[in-house]
Amino acid sequence: MSERTASTRHLAYMRVGIGVLLLLRTTPLLAPFHIPWLRSTVPLLGWPTGGFSLAFLPVWSIQALCVLRTLAALLFTLGVAGRVSGVVCGVAGFLVALQYPLGFFFTIHLLYQAVILLAFTDAVSALALAPSTPRRSPLDVWLLRAFVASIYFWAGVYKLRPDWLDGRTLGLFHQPSALSGRFVDLLFARPWLPALVAKLIAALELSLGPLLLWRNSRRFALPAAYALHLVLELSAHPDLLGWGMMVLLLCFVPTEMSARSRELAKP
Amino acid sequence: MDEKESDVPEPVSGHRLSGLDHYQVRPAPAPWRVWQCGLGVIVCILLPAWSWLDGSGSLAWSMYAHSSSFRLRIVSFDRGGKQRSLAPSALAAHAEQDLRTALGGAEAFRHARQGRLLQRYLPELAQLACQVSRAERVVLTLEDKRDLDEPARVSVERRQCSPRKQADP
């Protein structure tokens, strides 16, 4: 398998992963599990209920956009007209989200953006029922890498505030619906620990982007990033955001053989 | 495997779709790469920076790190001038999901980041308060703390309820 094919395959895995997460987050597929933050997905995420609304679009058009977003997400995941379905899914999704300005949440922001970005790569040219024509752009993987690195960067920068660095903000999240569990209780058992952990999180997020982008440090930065999201999943239950990030981190999984490996592989 | 051949897409079934075998795969044209660069700049820099500059950081991946809180107080006045307090939770019962979540329990300071946006939508909220209270006029007072160290910013919205609005359910 050539390097490009392997890289396209990784992008295609990401397309399928992000598409599945989007479908799980915007439709009632997980409703039987009674997950609190998925209550609003019946019949579809953003479906108008008839109450007082801040929406600027009429009800029928919001309903149509919800259906369009779901169909486009399904086609995108299956790899049918991936470029068009990805963009339509993302744009329709954002239009629905704009109707509920006070209900914005980062998971859906991440998924819609990821869908649009992946539609502009060769992710839609492999593992697809009807593959799109590959464009063979050298920027494909780097577009996704820059996206992931920017998320860590902005998240880290936002934490450079006195009330985060001294651990007080972390304390605000110490409640059953946010940060909970034995591990978290241990964190708050010592008064100096929250401040230390808050500083470590900020430092980790600020450094993860560059460390992931730099090839030499990627081998330890990638496991560190996965570990961060797994710990957050276990302690903070952050919607599907962590899973989305773990799918997007696939763009850093090495696909090409290094020069030294090639030398060693030569007969 | 030849790289050029491997770039011809294959459907998951393993059979190439008709017509796809014959097209020429060429390196991405410059406009396509320009599109990708533009998209990258918008998503990675412009959108987060814009929301950072407006003070909210709402698109700047600030999840699970904010310390904002807000409180909303609503007072209604009937024709005789009698004053009554109206709980934001009472408004929430008549609203869509996003407003319901934002207004629920907002009579006391709550750790949530919607205060800044609620400030923008105070006129609409006043309209809802008129509908729910059937009062002659309402006064909404929003106190929004951007972080733990900043003092609360107070916004007040006064609204004379129209007779038609009062009649609405």
Q: What is the ipTM of this complex?
A: 0.89
- Gyration radius of chain B's alpha carbons: 26
- CB under 8 Å to A176, separation ≥6 — which residues? none
Stretch among A185-189, A210-214, A234-238, B24-28 having the lowest mean pLDDT = B24-28
Q: Provide the pLDDT confidence category of residue A32 given band limits of 50, 70 and 90.
A: confident
Residue B76 lies in a domain: yes
Same domain, B47 and B85: no
Alpha-carbon torsion, ordered A14, A20, A25, A31, to 10 deg: -150
Total Cβ atoms within 10 A of residue A235: 17
B58 occurs within a structural domain: no
**Residue B112 and residue B73 share a domain:** yes
> Do B132 and B94 belong to one domain?
yes
Residue B104 belongs to a domain: yes
Sign of the CA dihedral running A253, B63, A112, B32: negative
Mean pLDDT lowest among A70-74, A153-157, A171-175, B141-145: A171-175
Average pLDDT score over chain A = 91
B24 and B48 co-located in one domain: yes
User: How many whole angstroms separate alpha carbon B38 and alpha carbon A260?
Assistant: 35
* Within-domain flag for B59: no
**Whether pLDDT at A263 is above 80:** no
**Helix or strand run (H / E) with residue B69:** strand B69-77
B169: pLDDT strictly greater than 50:
no
- Has residue B28 been placed in a domain? yes
B91-128 residues labelled b (16+ CB within 10 A) or e (exposed):
bbebbbbbbbbbbbbbbebbbbbbbbbbbebbeebbbb
Q: The dihedral of CA A84, A90, A93, A97: what is its sign?
A: negative
Residue A52 pLDDT grade (very low, low, confident, very high; cuts 50, 70, 90): very high
Q: How far apart are CA A257 and CA A168, in angstroms?
A: 46
State the pLDDT at residue B120: 93
B108 against B10, higher pLDDT? B108
Own/partner long-range contacts of B38-45 (Cβ < 8 Å, ≥24 apart): B39/A116, B39/A117, B39/A120, B39/A143, B40/A117, B40/A139, B40/A143, B40/A146, B40/A147, B43/A113, B43/A116, B43/A117, B43/A147, B43/A150, B44/A146, B44/A147, B44/A149, B44/A150, B45/A150
Give chain B positions within 8 Å (CB) of A147: 40, 43-44
pLDDT category, A3, cuts 50, 70, 90? Answer: low
Question: How many distinct structural domains can be found in chain B?
Answer: 2
3-state secondary structure of A193: helix
- The average pLDDT across B53-64 equals 86
Residues B110, B153 share a domain: yes
Give per-residue pLDDT as tens, A113-142.
999 999 999 999 999 999 999 998 999 999
Residue B25 shares a structural domain with residue B92: no
Q: In angstroms, what separates the C-alpha of A219 from chain B's closest C-alpha?
A: 23
User: Do B87 and B142 belong to one domain?
Assistant: yes
What span, in angstroms and rounded, lies between the C-alpha atoms of B62 and A159? 8
pLDDT band at B30 (very low <50, low <70, confident <90, very high): confident
Give A93→chain B minimum CA distance, Å: 15
Q: Which DSSP state fits B111?
A: E
Q: Do B37 and B105 lie in a common domain?
A: no
Task: Let me know whether B89 and B151 are in one domain.
Answer: yes
What pLDDT is attached to residue A40?
82
In a domain, residue B64? The reply is: no
Q: Which residue of B has its CA nearest to A105?
A: B63
Task: Please tell me whether residue A192 adopts helix, strand or coil conformation.
Answer: coil
The mean pLDDT value for B158-168 works out to: 69
Max avg pLDDT among A127-131, B15-19, B55-59: A127-131
Which pLDDT score is estimated for B126? Answer: 96
Asked which of A199-213, B17-31, B100-114 is least confident by mean pLDDT, the reply is B17-31
Reading the block at residue B145, the tokens are: 């703390």
Residues B31 and B86 in one domain: no
Confidence of residue A264 (pLDDT cuts 50, 70, 90): low
- Provide the strand spans (E) within A60-219: none
Whether A54 sits inside 8 A of B99 (CB atoms) is yes
Quick check: A130 and B32 CB within 8 A?
no
In a domain, B27, yes or no: yes
Instruction: Please indicate whether, in this complex, the C-beta atoms of A51 and B96 are within 8 angstroms of each other.
Output: yes
- Summarised one tens digit per residue, pLDDT across range A180-202 is 777 788 888 888 999 999 999 99
Residue A263 buriedness (CB in 10 A; 0-12 / 13-18 / 19+): exposed
In a domain, B62, yes or no: no
Residues B79 and B160 in one domain: yes
Number of Cβ within a 10 Å radius of residue A112? 25
Q: Which domain holds residue B23?
A: 3-53
What's chain B's average pLDDT?
A: 83
- In angstroms, the CA B100 to CA B90 distance is 9
- Give the integer Cα–Cα distance in Å for A245 and A151: 9
Banded model confidence at residue B4, pLDDT cuts 50, 70, 90: very low
Choose the final residue of a domain: B53, B78, B95.
Answer: B53
Query: pTM for this structure?
Result: 0.88
Residues B25 and B79 in one domain: no
Question: If pLDDT is split at 50, 70 and 90, which confidence band does B15 have?
Answer: very low
